[in-house]
Amino acid sequence: MKKKYIAMACFAALVVVSSSCKKEFLEQSDPNAISVDNSFKSPNDVLLAVNGIYQSLRSGNNIGETSDLWTDQRSDDTGTNDNQSNAGEPFQFNNFSLLASNTYLKAHWVSLYGTITRANTVLSNIDKVTFTDPTVKAQYVGEAKFLRALIYFHLVRLWGDVPLVTKQLASTEVSAATFREKQATVYAQIVADLTDVVNNSNLPNLQTGAGIGRASKAAANALLGQVYLTMATTQDQANRAANLASAKTFLMAAYNMRTFGALSSIPYTDVFDVTKKSTCPELIFQIVNKQGDINYSSSIAANNQAKGETINSLKASSGVGGNVKHDLVNDYEANDPRGAFSIKYANDPIVKDWFITKFRDASSGASNLGYGGNDWILMRYADVILMLAEVNMYLGDNATAISFLDQVRTRAGMPTYAASITNAAYVAKYPTLKLAILHERRVELAFEHHRWFDLLRFFTTDELVAYFKAKPQADYGTALVANFTTKDRYYPIPFDEYKLDPVKMYQNPGY
């Protein structure tokens, strides 16, 4: 391919030598460039473009398996403890000392908007293509809108007001479109996209076989339910009741699409078993990885493994692996098998600490290079069930909330909520049903990148500051929990974006 480009460049150079500077020569297009208009000719072209949206999710700068810097490391579950050298910028997230100039932050912003650009390109050009089967077109539109909504949901929760773009932009339009839109408007667009997916797309209830890793109606309903739940708890409280009712409606729709009976029929370990990732009925939406493939394998098992350990991967580790804050270690109840499965103490002299073991592939197929087959799970039914516990609790129906909570506790082999509140130690740590649900989400979904968003949903900003400052520094590692203030509710707008137009791209408070 490189030789082809070189040949074209040489040909162009020869033309320059042998031609005068005529107007028509100057107006010639780049022979190596393919215009967007020429890229959408057939349904297969659209499929390839939709696949490109999915592909963008894989990056650690996006929402892939290595994207914990923006979520778990911001929370009280994990965190980079090395504040030296090239670890200094990642440490800012954990230490609540984030600067607007942080290059990791900018990379996340750029990647998320890159996904949105890909989705907008599909949606702006799909009508140019003739489809013999209109249901296929509806499917592609549904997938693009689902993925656009998913990414805008990440953006609005992390940054608040953000630029809202819903069409393919010409280069001359980018500047005019670069301004922060109010959260309410962004949420309205997310709801509109997902409502269209739920009602009009030709997606299956759940994906199976070759479709695993693509959007489904269960995924769209689950996401829309979570969006309404987030709006009810973090946005204008005038619409709280209506948003809670909608959250329950769509979460129940997703729940009723499950293909199993009781959650307890699915062992917790099956959810993360590489050999069962295409058959486990709890999984709703995942990023698919290919074991043994240098480009499309998973690295999460090997990356999390600590020196001297072999539980995660055949690849030897020389570092501390996926560090676990003692604050989370202490939150696992005695005899909770999820703790025994998800974390382990590494006794190597350079570690002497807890590391993540939830994601494992120590099979020969992954080899000693650590090319694991773990899929990255973005949505599963335990998450939906616990959100149903949460929304019913907010609606004042504690009995139903507890029944959903108990589904998760029973599957884990833990006492029911009624039995647990007879335990003085449990009641002391989780004196309300709300805190019990938050605790259950933490230990059930640990390291799946939900914790930070859960904290933002369960607490007001002032409550969240108090929650963090009450934590013992000894359980938090090198990062200073005392640094947490109200400014840390949102990320700063990347400095490069802010400086282009400080008025339209105004900075978040405290930065």
CB within 8 Å of 270: residues ≥ 6 apart: 276, 280, 282
- Percent residues over pLDDT 70 in the chain: 92
How much is the mean pLDDT over the chain?
92
- Alpha helices for 300-459 (secondary structure H): 300-304, 326-329, 337-342, 381-394, 398-411, 417-420, 424-429, 433-444, 451-458
Taking the alpha carbons at both ends of the chain, their separation in whole angstroms is: 46
The pLDDT value recorded for residue 85 is 52
Helix axes 217-234, 240-255, angle to 10 degrees: 160
Amino acid at position 191, single letter: V
Other CB atoms within a 10 A radius of the CB of residue 72 amount to 26
- Does position 55 have pLDDT exceeding 60, yes or no? yes
- Does position 25 have pLDDT exceeding 60, yes or no? no
Give the domain ranges of the chain: 1-33, 40-268, 289-374, 389-474
Amino acid at position 333, single letter: E
Q: How far is CA 204 from CA 67, 96, 135, 163, 481, in A?
A: 28, 42, 12, 32, 45
Other CB atoms within a 10 A radius of the CB of residue 331 amount to 19
CB within 8 Å of 447: residues ≥ 6 apart: 68, 72, 77, 78, 322, 342, 356, 358, 359
**Pairwise CA distance, residues 216 & 437, whole Å:** 27
* Banded pLDDT at 18 (limits 50, 70, 90): very low
Say if CB 242 and CB 224 are below 8 A apart: no
Instruction: For the chain, count helices (H), then strands (E).
Output: 21, 4
Q: Is 421 exposed, middle or buried (0-12, 13-18, 19+ CB in 10 A)?
A: middle
* Banded pLDDT at 429 (limits 50, 70, 90): very high
Structure tokens at 353: 């600490």
* Banded pLDDT at 36 (limits 50, 70, 90): confident
The pLDDT value recorded for residue 174 is 84
The pLDDT value recorded for residue 9 is 36
Q: Is 52 exposed, middle or buried (0-12, 13-18, 19+ CB in 10 A)?
A: middle
**Pairwise CA distance, residues 32 & 14, whole Å:** 16
Other CB atoms within a 10 A radius of the CB of residue 134 amount to 9
Structure tokens at 137: 């077109």
CB within 8 Å of 281: residues ≥ 6 apart: 258, 259, 260, 266, 381
Using DSSP bridges, classify how beta strands 353-356 and 343-346 pair: parallel, antiparallel or unpaired. antiparallel
**Pairwise CA distance, residues 489 & 161, whole Å:** 13
**Pairwise CA distance, residues 87 & 89, whole Å:** 6
CA atoms within 13 A on the CB side of 241: 2
> What pLDDT, in 10s, does the model give residues 334-391?
999 999 999 999 999 999 999 999 999 999 999 999 999 999 999 999 999 999 999 9
* Banded pLDDT at 250 (limits 50, 70, 90): very high
Counting every residue written for the chain, the total comes to 511
Structure tokens at 41: 């000719």
Q: Where are the beta strands (DSSP E) in 214-319?
A: 283-287
Place of tokens 């059930």: 444
* Banded pLDDT at 11 (limits 50, 70, 90): very low
> What pLDDT, in 10s, does the model give residues 278-291?
999 999 999 999 99
- Does position 465 have pLDDT exceeding 80, yes or no? yes
Residue 344 bridge partners (DSSP):
355
Q: In what helix (H) or strand (E) does residue 227 lie, and over which residues does it extend?
A: helix 217-234
Q: How far is CA 400 from CA 390, 392, 393, 395, 435, in A?
A: 10, 6, 8, 10, 16
- Does position 44 have pLDDT exceeding 60, yes or no? yes
Instruction: Quickly name the fold that domain 40-268 has.
Output: 1.25.40
Structure tokens at 339: 């703790």
CB within 8 Å of 388: residues ≥ 6 apart: 248, 251, 252, 255, 400, 401, 404
Structure tokens at 334: 């005695």
Mean pLDDT confidence for 200-223: 96
3-state SS assignment for residue 21: coil
**Pairwise CA distance, residues 188 & 224, whole Å:** 11
The pLDDT value recorded for residue 87 is 66
Helix axes 381-394, 217-234, angle to 10 degrees: 40
> What pLDDT, in 10s, does the model give residues 286-323?
999 999 999 999 999 999 999 999 999 999 999 999 99
The pLDDT value recorded for residue 34 is 54
The pLDDT value recorded for residue 449 is 98
Other CB atoms within a 10 A radius of the CB of residue 183 amount to 18
